[in-house]
Structure 1
Amino acid sequence: MSTQNGSPTDPKAPALNVLVQYIKDFSFENPNAPRSLGAPQGQPDVNIQINVNARPLQNGEFEVELKIDGNAAVQGNTLFAFDLTYGGIFRVINVPEQSLQPVVLIECPRLLFPFARQIIAEAVRGGGFPPLMIDPVDFAALFQQRMASEAQNMQTIGEA
């Protein structure tokens, strides 16, 4: 199969295209500055939560949102907190129905993550701290957890 400008030339080949990426919502707080910027009084506790949401648009397009919330604290005192919703519009073409959900909820956030990670690292650095480099995320494991949770919820509803 040959390609032209990175796109497959076979019209029936599966394809995933990133149409646009954007910051949908972003907040960074440094509530105890400048006091929090002094010498650290211990290793900070960093908590991060990551969620993926997707919704169909039209013509095989999906909006995918990567929501990353986090904070760092030392001895219960908040150093910083952030909340980022980073989104993208993806076109998914010729992907079998049984593969569509994994493509949208695994591959799309995998493409968005490095950009969201960089936004957070720069914001934390701009807040007066060393950049926070979030470890790579296993979106396949997050997807499996989500599917298991939905199956459990359906089972609970069926028993009610």
Structure 2
Amino acid sequence: MQDQPESPQGDSPAAAPAAAPRISQRILTQYVRDLSFENVLARKGVSGDLTPEIAVQVSLDGRKRGGADNQYEVTTKLTATSKTKAAGEVLFVLEIEYVGVFQIEGVPEAQMHPYLLIECPRITFPFLRRIVSDVTRDGGFPALNLEMIDFVQLYRNELARRQQQPAAAPRLDA
């Protein structure tokens, strides 16, 4: 019989705590589900000062894919609206739904929701950012280079918003 080495604390190896589950993640695919760019300036024209003011709204949705083990679909919906600062006239509206399909293993079920709505969009965001930049530039405007989004804060804000709402049917988007 071979002797087992003791741990530095003098415990036997059998008494050592179990290792945390190993998290495995792969991006299976990512794609644009829906894209709309409306150049209002070219269509109807806007007069006066054209200094833009841009508002960006982001929402997230994450769900398990039907029929596939450990596969999840995470959708980032982004709307960017550019208006003139002076008169508030719309210059352009960009709407995009960008989807990432992930194979995720080892994440405890209780942590899957925040993992889907924080980590997964963080991975796909650079690709979404490039599409937004290209579309606005190709649409006749200076490229809109989005700043990095704090997905942790976005998630916390959504949780706080839900706690303040009256009880409603649970949703998985944020």
Q: Same fold (TM over 0.5)?
A: yes
Task: Provide the residue aligned with 2:171 in structure 1.
Answer: none
Distance 1:130 1:149 in 2: 34
Task: Provide the residue aligned with 2:73 in structure 1.
Answer: 63
Give % identity.
33
Unpaired runs of 5+ residues, structure 2, are: 1-20, 169-174
1:82 maps to amino acid:
L
Moved more, 44-53 or 27-36: 27-36
1:23 and 2:35 matched: no
- C-alpha deviations, 1:52-78, integer Å up to 9, x for none? 101111311111000000111112222
- Aligned residue for 1:104, secondary structure, equals helix
The CA RMSD over aligned residues, in Å, is 2.1
| TM-score where L is the length of structure 1 | 0.82
**Which structure has the larger Rg?**
2
Aligned length, in residue pairs? 144
1:37, 1:128 within 8 Å by CA — same for their partners in 2?
no
Task: Provide the residue aligned with 1:92 in structure 2.
Answer: 104
Distance 1:30 1:13 in 2: 47
Distance 1:108 1:21 in 2: 11
| TM-score where L is the length of structure 2 | 0.76
Task: Provide the residue aligned with 2:119 in structure 1.
Answer: 107
Deviation at 1:79, TM superposition (A): 1.3
Deviation at 1:97, TM superposition (A): 2.1
- C-alpha deviations, 1:120-139, integer Å up to 9, x for none? 11111011111000111000
1:37, 1:129 within 8 Å by CA — same for their partners in 2?
no
Q: Which structure has more strand as a fraction of its residues?
A: 1
Distance 1:23 1:76 in 2: 29
Deviation at 1:36, TM superposition (A): 5.2
1:137 and 2:149 matched: yes
Unpaired runs of 5+ residues, structure 1, are: 1-11
Task: Provide the residue aligned with 2:59 in structure 1.
Answer: 51
Distance 2:55 2:161 in 1: 22
Distance 2:113 2:104 in 1: 11
Are the structure 2 counterparts of residues 152 and 44 from structure 1 closer, same or farther at C-alpha, using a change threshold of 3 Å?
same
